[in-house]
Amino acid sequence: MKLHHLAASAIAIMAAVPAVAFDTITWNWDADVQTTIATDALSSVSVAPTGLEQVESDQTTLGAFTATSSSTAIDNALTGLTGLSTDDVVNVETQASALGNSASFDSDVSMALDARQVFGGVDTSLSTSLTGEIVPSVPGVITASASTIGILNGTVDSDATGVANNLTAALTTASAQDAFLLANNVQTALATVTSTSSVDAVSFTGIGGLGTLSAPAVSSASTAVGNNLGVTIDGPN
């Protein structure tokens, strides 16, 4: 830190006296910095849980998975009506989800889980049955596609999600003795994951108050994930 401050001061001094001329300027900086950081942490927890959810999950999936959803030419013309508002529009939801492996665990007592998820492609060169732990050698394919085209007087929510491995664990308890979760999770994905969401030709005619909508009139989202892990713990405050 001293080196940085000195350099800034030297530059400021040189700028303050531009009229002084030097034939030669030599700067020599020598610094010997030694830093030692020691951190010790000790934690002791004693609990008496009222119950235990214990799970072992082993998922292996090889192959290609495709999810396609489309909404096309939805006509909410409302011909001959006047004084139309947002209450008169329709809501069009187009959703596509492609998953390789998915596991979800919920508990209201302490939880201990051991999980393993493997996703990949099928190696056609292997003609014999596979035994033991499978390690993918070729990529698997996850494809999710959502398309919404040609909507009149309707809001649009288009969503495409592709995930190779997904695991969620949620612990919600009213007992302080159960508010802990122990987990070992291993996720392996050798995959090409593609998600596409498209929306086109959405129009509104004679609808008032569109600016008061609580959600976007048009929403288009796509998500592509290899491995996803979500853990939540909600205990007493």
Average pLDDT over residues 82-98: 94
| Residue 183 and residue 133 in contact, taking contact as beta carbons nearer than 8 Å | no
For 166, residues 6+ apart whose C-beta sits below 8 A from its C-beta are 99, 101, 102, 103, 225, 228
pLDDT band at residue 41 using 50, 70 and 90 as cut-offs = confident
Tokens of 164: 């190779």
Average pLDDT across the chain, whole number: 85
DSSP 215: S
| Residue 148 and residue 160 in contact, taking contact as beta carbons nearer than 8 Å | no
| Residue 182 and residue 122 in contact, taking contact as beta carbons nearer than 8 Å | no
How far is the C-alpha of 55 from the C-alpha of 185, rounded, in Å?
11
Task: Confirm whether 41 is domain-assigned.
Answer: no
DSSP 207: B
Task: Confirm whether 62 is domain-assigned.
Answer: yes
Decide which of 192 and 136 is more confident: 192
| Residue 108 and residue 179 in contact, taking contact as beta carbons nearer than 8 Å | no
Task: Confirm whether 135 is domain-assigned.
Answer: yes
How far is the C-alpha of 151 from the C-alpha of 169, rounded, in Å?
38
The number of beta carbons lying within 10 Å of the beta carbon of residue 54 is 11
pLDDT band at residue 167 using 50, 70 and 90 as cut-offs = very high
Residue 177 reports pLDDT greater than 70:
yes
The number of beta carbons lying within 10 Å of the beta carbon of residue 124 is 7
pLDDT band at residue 38 using 50, 70 and 90 as cut-offs = confident
At residue 42, the pLDDT reads 81
Task: Confirm whether 13 is domain-assigned.
Answer: no
17: buried, middle or exposed (CB in 10 Å: 19+, 13-18, 0-12)? Answer: exposed
| Residue 148 and residue 199 in contact, taking contact as beta carbons nearer than 8 Å | yes
The number of distinct structural domains making up the chain is: 1
Locate tokens 């609580």: which residue? 214
At residue 44, the pLDDT reads 79
pLDDT in tens, 122-148: 887 765 455 567 788 899 999 999 999
Task: Confirm whether 4 is domain-assigned.
Answer: no
Task: Confirm whether 7 is domain-assigned.
Answer: no
Residue 4 reports pLDDT greater than 60:
no
pLDDT band at residue 46 using 50, 70 and 90 as cut-offs = confident
Task: Confirm whether 14 is domain-assigned.
Answer: no
pLDDT band at residue 217 using 50, 70 and 90 as cut-offs = very high
Please give the sequence-ordered ranges of beta strands (E in DSSP) within 124-215, or none if there are none.
Answer: 140-152, 154-172, 181-189, 191-203
**What is the residue range of 139's domain?**
52-234
Average pLDDT over residues 41-45: 79
At residue 191, the pLDDT reads 96
Cα within 13 Å of Cα(201), Cβ side: 10
Task: Confirm whether 63 is domain-assigned.
Answer: yes
DSSP 134: -
At residue 50, the pLDDT reads 93
Residue 45 reports pLDDT greater than 50:
yes
pTM score, two decimals?
0.75
At residue 95, the pLDDT reads 96
Nearest Cα residue to 62 out of 142, 145, 144: 142
